[in-house]
Homo-oligomer: A and B are copies of this chain.
Amino acid sequence: MTDIHLKGTARTDNKLWSNDEFEAAIQAVGAERYHDKHPFHKLLHGGKLKKSQVAAWALNRYCYQSAVPRKDAALVSRTFDRELRREWMHRVLEHDGYENDDGGIERWLILTDALGLDRDYVQSMRGALPATRFAVEAYVTFVREQPLTIAVASSLTELFAPKIHKERISGMLEGYDFIDDRVMAYFKQRLVQAPRDADFALKYIKEHAATRAEQEACVDAVRFKCNVLWVQLDALHHAYVNGNVPPGAWRPEDLGP
């Protein structure tokens, strides 16, 4: 198989991929550009960041976490397929919580609390980087507007997530004295949920992408989603590692004037 490293929608033939070829093309996107390869993540997981830099990451990443139920509800709102809605709905519940479960967003706020950030300030998203907000809302819009199968495919960075979460949990627990088991609860929960969600979405797109063009659009959706994640780390790196904090964004005291 030579055509899985295609850029964009260029293609060498129109033959439908087998399920294995289709899955390999998606996996190849992860190998090429999932954000575990970003220098900021290497610093984060390697214990190389100051507390304020980890806080900047958590503050910005809150925007992403809190957008997840909106994008998943957008997908639910678009489909006439009750079984798909029933399956997808639990993603919303995982993040927003349901009944006695406080949900993943609340678990994220335990992390931002531990990093010394004011909860109202985090939730206001006023201090987040504009690039973060744009990337996150681009994702919500993508899921709201793209054909359903392509929208489902954009979730498939979850295929690559358990590895990064494992590295993150061990690396951050080891590297930072301000991180403990309790504040890593969000990621521990995702170790269980992400593989189940990814399996469903992968099966769904294999069943529903009926042409090679649709298959390639699914692979592009995973590329798009990797870009959503990468842009967030680029913006963090530029602002909080290289010291170019844009006007209005959160400015930790130890960053200097």
Contact = CB atoms under 8 A, between A and B. Distances in A.
A77 B86 contact: no
Residue among A74, A89, A105 with the highest chain B CB neighbour number at 10 A:
A89
Question: Chain A interface: which size bin?
Answer: 20 to 34
A85 B96 contact: yes
Contacts of A66: 80, 82
Given A76-B70, A77-B74, A89 B82 contact: no
Interface centre among A70, A72, A105 (most CB of B within 10 A): A70
A77 B71 contact: yes
A78 interface: yes
Stoichiometry, copies per complex: 2
A148 to B, nearest CB: 12
Given A89-B92, A89-B93, A105 B82 contact: yes
Contacts of A90: 98
Contacts of A140: 77
Nearest to A97: B86
Given A73-B73, A73-B89, A85-B92, 5 more contacts: A70-B77, A70-B80, A73-B85, A74-B74, A89-B93
5 contacts: A70-B76, A70-B80, A73-B74, A77-B77, A89-B92
